[in-house]
Amino acid sequence: MILVTGGAGYIGSHVCMALLEAGLDVVVIDNLSNSNQASLQRVQSLCGRSLIFRQIDIRDEEAVYDIIHDFGVTAVIHLAGLKAVGDSNVRPLSYYENNVVGTMRLVSAMTKANVKTLVFSSSATVYGVPTYLPLDERHPLGPTNPYGRTKFFIEETLKDLYRSDAEWRIGILRYFNPAGAHESGLIGEDPVGVPNNLLPFVAQVAIGRQEKLRIWGNDYNTPDGTGIRDFIHVVDLASGHLSVLNGLKQPGVITLNLGTGNGSSVLEVVRTFEAVSGRSVAYEIGGRRAGDVAICYADPTLAGDTLGWQSARSLAQMCADHWRWQLKNPNGYRES
């Protein structure tokens, strides 16, 4: 039995899909603060298999322990946490409480239950401002916002945990920019309020839920002046979790980038989305946003060499899959 924390969220629902399709049994805990249980109902329908769901906060150590113990959990995929960079600057204490304290209580519950296999959802934000590109796992770490610092502190905590107890098997996955949706159009990204991520915002402009996209700066040293990021299809990202879970055969800590190795500019995403959707996306140019870097993309070689994993889906497929999700679910899961 695999425990997935935050399993009702955008990435979590796709990870649960990958696990169920691989024949694994899944129990999900999620406090539903930024997710919807309808995602898991759809996952089960798509797979034709059931999972177990409990509405639990990872900070409730006793409840987490009971889940691990009662359901015979053998490994944990830890996705639960707050995740908006801008919001973390406004509410830093909430991010440290949810992400860092929550992880410590989760790991404490695992220790008490003698479950020592963990896959942790980290982020490329731990790198901070790139000193060279592409970003490999040896790049110096220097997060520039509270969200990124929570991921950095958790990574260091997990490394210290292994140093103190060499029985642990830990996979740390540094995500780049998840995008897209399941090809069925039944599960996808359903942000609460105004989207923080580019593709959901673009899609909401295309369908009329948002008036226009604001592009933060067009004077970067890039081909079209807009920032460049590494967008990875969420289904590819989910498959990476399954690969690392299967790859944790020996005790140790492995840290891997999950990205495509290619960068796409904001305007390239807009143009690609317009092409696959047949809709125009209105936008306006604003000034640069504090803390943004011009270019950021992954070197995913280590994940390929270590696990045989690599991304398979293009930017056009990410846009097409997200548009299908948007058309089928104009108001997200709230129509369920």
Query: Has residue 59 been placed in a domain?
Result: yes
Q: What's the confidence (pLDDT) of residue 206?
A: 94
Query: Has residue 132 been placed in a domain?
Result: yes
Query: Has residue 211 been placed in a domain?
Result: no
The per-residue DSSP string of 218-240 comes to S-SSSTTSS-EE-EEEHHHHHHH
pTM: 0.96
Strand partners, 252: 169
Q: What's the confidence (pLDDT) of residue 291?
A: 74
Report the CATH number at residue 10. 3.40.50.720
Query: Has residue 236 been placed in a domain?
Result: yes
Query: Has residue 287 been placed in a domain?
Result: no
Structural tokens at position 183: 């090809």
Q: Domain tally for the chain? A: 1
Q: Nearest 5°: CA angle at 181, between 174 and 235?
A: 45
Query: Has residue 225 been placed in a domain?
Result: no
Distance between CA 210 and CA 194 in Å, rounded?
9
Q: Which residues, other chains included, contact 188 with Cβ-Cβ below 8 Å and sequence gap of 6+?
A: 10, 180, 181, 182, 321, 322, 325, 326, 329
Residue from 147, 283, 297, 333 carrying the catalytic annotation: 147
Q: What's the confidence (pLDDT) of residue 33?
A: 92
Clarify whether 147 is annotated catalytic.
yes
pLDDT tens for 180-230 read 999 999 999 998 888 888 999 999 999 999 999 999 999 999 999 999 999
Q: What's the confidence (pLDDT) of residue 336?
A: 46
Query: Has residue 165 been placed in a domain?
Result: yes
Q: How many residues does the chain have?
A: 336
Give the model's confidence band at 13: pLDDT under 50 very low, under 70 low, under 90 confident, else very high.
very high
Give the model's confidence band at 293: pLDDT under 50 very low, under 70 low, under 90 confident, else very high.
confident
Mean pLDDT calculated for residue range 6-11: 97
Q: What are phi and psi of 327, to 5 degrees?
A: -65, -40
Q: What's the confidence (pLDDT) of residue 278?
A: 96
Q: What's the confidence (pLDDT) of residue 191?
A: 86
State the CB neighbour count (10 A cutoff) for residue 156.
Answer: 12
pLDDT tens for 53-100 read 999 999 999 999 999 999 999 999 999 999 988 888 899 999 999 999
Give the model's confidence band at 262: pLDDT under 50 very low, under 70 low, under 90 confident, else very high.
very high
Q: What's the confidence (pLDDT) of residue 86?
A: 81
| pLDDT at 290 exceeding the cut of 80 | no
Mean pLDDT calculated for residue range 231-236: 98
Q: What's the confidence (pLDDT) of residue 335?
A: 64
- Domain span at residue 161 reads 2-180+231-259
Distance between CA 21 and CA 238 in Å, rounded?
11
Query: Has residue 45 been placed in a domain?
Result: yes
